[in-house]
Each structure stands twice: as structure tokens, then as C-alpha cells.
Amino acid sequence: MASNNSDAANLFVNVDSGPYRMASTPSSSPASSLENPRVAARLLEREKLRTSRFDSVTSLLLALIIFIGTFVTMLFIIWLTTRWVYSPPPIMPPIEEPAGRGENPEGFERDFEPPGAEEVEELMEPTLQDTLEAVTDAVSTVAGALATTDTAATATTTGTGAGDSRPPGPPGEGQDIVPRFERWQLNFSARDVRSYATQLDYFKIELGAIGGSIQGVDVASNLSSRIQKRRIEDTSSEKRLYFMWNSPSPLMEFDRQLLNSASIQLSNRQMLKFIPKALEDQLAVIELEYSTSKGHPSVTEIAKTVFESKSNGGDYVFEVVSQRYRKPRR
């Protein structure tokens, strides 16, 4: 009876074919009994290697720490790159050497007030024939021939010269170009004096006043905050490009307000804008690039260039808004 119970315990149902097929598992052998400790040991090792809840929480925290560390590192790199100041490549501005007449009088030729025909005749050494004629006829006169020149000057014998045909500026022989102080025009778009002063400070443009009974030039800088002023006694040492007002403008009143805020006297004086050398070189490059894009690759072809200050995010830039060109000489 016990044997039958043991056999019944070792039977299992297997669905193979037919309604049911009864099969029996083999009874335990001594070899399988020896493998049971090994199986138990393997199961114990598997239990040890199974991921516990502690391991899951620890892995999650470690992954979170790595993510936060990487994110903070990226933010630090971005902040560091914004703190670095990259110096722009050096600008190679076009070199201009305009001709100038200096203190010579304006005119149509290139002489220096030559004497008239009568003065030339008095300075010339008389020839032998002239001497004999003067002896025989002391009252005779020699008519002087006046050589006419291609000029609008009145032809007389009193020494009127043709002047100097070079444009105003430092004396020298140079290119036939319109100087920058005559060729350039700077426009600013500002609703109030504060925004106007902010643009001037951004470009490091200084305001000044010259003339009147005051010796030298009074200069105002740092116009958008605490205005600073100084006086340049030796005007010959000032080599910066400057501009003066030639027509009334609302910005002209802004200049007046800023100079008055600096306690600079303006009675019978001319207001100036001093352009730093770096800005002058930048404007020259912008001008030439614009004219080249319009088919005029030489600065000698430019008659007028109008720049305008425009906002570019938190900065300002000068752009060419119009440009006129010289007619070619025949």
C-alpha cells in the first residue's frame, strides 16, 4: 500500500496526444541526491545576486548625482565662455593720403601768387638792346604781355595769382580723393538725450567745444553717466578725426545739453565730435566694403557716405545707408 502511494506521488499528467497520457517520473537516484546540495548552493548564489530594493534606490541616486554633475559642469562651461573676451582680428583699414593745400589760398592752379606782368618786368635784368632803347627814348615804355591762364581770376597786371587747386587739409601731394571729414556723415537715431549719450559712449565718441575767447579745446567724455571734462591746450597734438555741425538738428541740441551738463562754455564756440582712431578705421572698412559691393572698388570714386548708428541687441553698429559717387573725369 505504501508502494502504491509512492508510485502515485511520482505520477504526473502530460497532455500529448489522445485525451490524457499518464507518465511517471523516474524515482530519485543516488546521483541526483548528490546534486541537490549543488542546486541549493546555486539557488543561494542566485538569491545573493538578485537586485534588492536597496540596490535599486542606490543606483537611482547615483544616476541622479551623475546627471546633476554633468548639467552643472555644462552650465559652468557656458558661463566661463561668456566671461572670456575674444579680441577681434586686427582691421586693416584702407590707407588714404589725400592731397592738401595747407595754408595756401584756394584757387584753380598750383602756383603761389606769382607776380604780375609789370612786377616781372621790373625784376628782369634789361638786355643790351633794351638799354640802348632806354637811352635813346627815355619816355618809351615796353608793353608787357600778360599770359592768360585757365582760371576764373580777373586778368590784371597787379599780381593776382591762380592760387592752389588742392583741397583743404594738411599740405601734401596725395591721392585725388575727398577727405573723410568732408566725405563722411554720421547719423544717430535717438529719442532722448540719454539714449543718444549711450550711443556716443559705446563708440567712445567725445564732444568738444573750440573757439571764442578760450584757448584750446574743452572735451567731455563718459556722457551717459558721470560726465568728465578736460581741456586740451595744445590743439596741434590732437590728431583725431572730428566733425562739426553744418545745419541745425535735434541732435545738435542734445550736444549742447551734454556740454552744458559738463559745465563747458559754449558762447561763440563751435561744437565738435571727436572720433577715436579705432572707430575711424572701422568706418573706413565698412565704407569700402559697401562701395565694392556696388561696383566701386576704389575710395577715389566715393563722393559721400552716410553712416547711421543702429541697435544690434545690446550693442550698436554703424551701417551705410546711402552713398554717392564721383563722376569720372574725362
Instruction: Establish if 18 belongs to a structural domain.
Output: no
251 pLDDT more than 70 = yes
> In terms of residue numbers, what domain contains 303?
180-325
- Indicate the residue among 165, 198, 233 that finishes a domain: 165
Residues 194 and 289 in one domain: yes
Residues 321 and 185 in one domain: yes
Residues 288 and 157 in one domain: no
pLDDT tens-place string over residues 72-85: 999 999 988 888 76
- Indicate the residue among 114, 136, 165 that finishes a domain: 165
Q: Average of pLDDT values for 153-158?
A: 45
Residues 135 and 242 in one domain: no
At 257 the pLDDT is 94
Instruction: Establish if 74 belongs to a structural domain.
Output: no
Residues 262 and 228 in one domain: yes
Residue 210 pLDDT class (50, 70, 90 cuts): very high
Residues 156 and 196 in one domain: no
Domains: count for the chain: 2
Residues 250 and 142 in one domain: no
Residues 109 and 206 in one domain: no
Instruction: Establish if 62 belongs to a structural domain.
Output: no
Residues 137 and 193 in one domain: no
Residue 271 pLDDT class (50, 70, 90 cuts): very high
Q: What is the pTM of this model?
A: 0.56
CA 23 to the chain's CA centroid: 95
CB atoms within 10 A of CB 201: 16
pLDDT tens-place string over residues 42-66: 888 877 777 788 888 899 999 999 9
C-alpha cell at 165: 587747386
167 pLDDT more than 90 = no
At 307 the pLDDT is 96
Instruction: Establish if 1 belongs to a structural domain.
Output: no
Q: Among all chains, which residue has been given the C-alpha cell 541616486?
A: 61
Instruction: Establish if 280 belongs to a structural domain.
Output: yes
Residues 187 and 224 in one domain: yes
Instruction: Establish if 41 belongs to a structural domain.
Output: no
Q: In what order do the strands lie in the sheet with 302-312?
A: 184-188, 302-312, 315-325
pLDDT tens-place string over residues 90-145: 667 777 777 665 566 565 556 555 555 555 555 556 666 666 666 566 544 434 33
Residues 294 and 208 in one domain: yes
Instruction: Establish if 274 belongs to a structural domain.
Output: yes
Instruction: Establish if 43 belongs to a structural domain.
Output: no
pLDDT tens-place string over residues 14-47: 444 444 444 444 445 555 555 688 888 888 887 7
Residues 213 and 297 in one domain: yes
Q: In the 3-class helix/strand/coil scheme, how is the chain assigned residue by residue?
A: CHHHHHHHHCEEEECCCCCCEEEECCCCCHHHHHHHHHHHHHHHHHHHHCCCHHHHHHHHHHHHHHHHHHHHHHHHHHHHHHHCCCCCCCCCCCCCCECECCCCCECCCECCCCCCHHHHHHHCCCCHHHHHHHHHCCCCCCCCCCCCCCCCCCCCCCCCCCCECCCCCCCECCECCCCHHHHEEEEECCCCHHHHHHHHHHCCCEEEEECCCCCCEEEEECCCCCCEEEEECCHHHCCCEEEECCCCCHHHHHHHHHHHHCCCCCCCCEEEEEECHHHHHHHHHHHHHHHHHCCCCCHHHEEEEEEEEEEECCEEEEEEEEEEECCCCC
Residue 172 pLDDT class (50, 70, 90 cuts): low
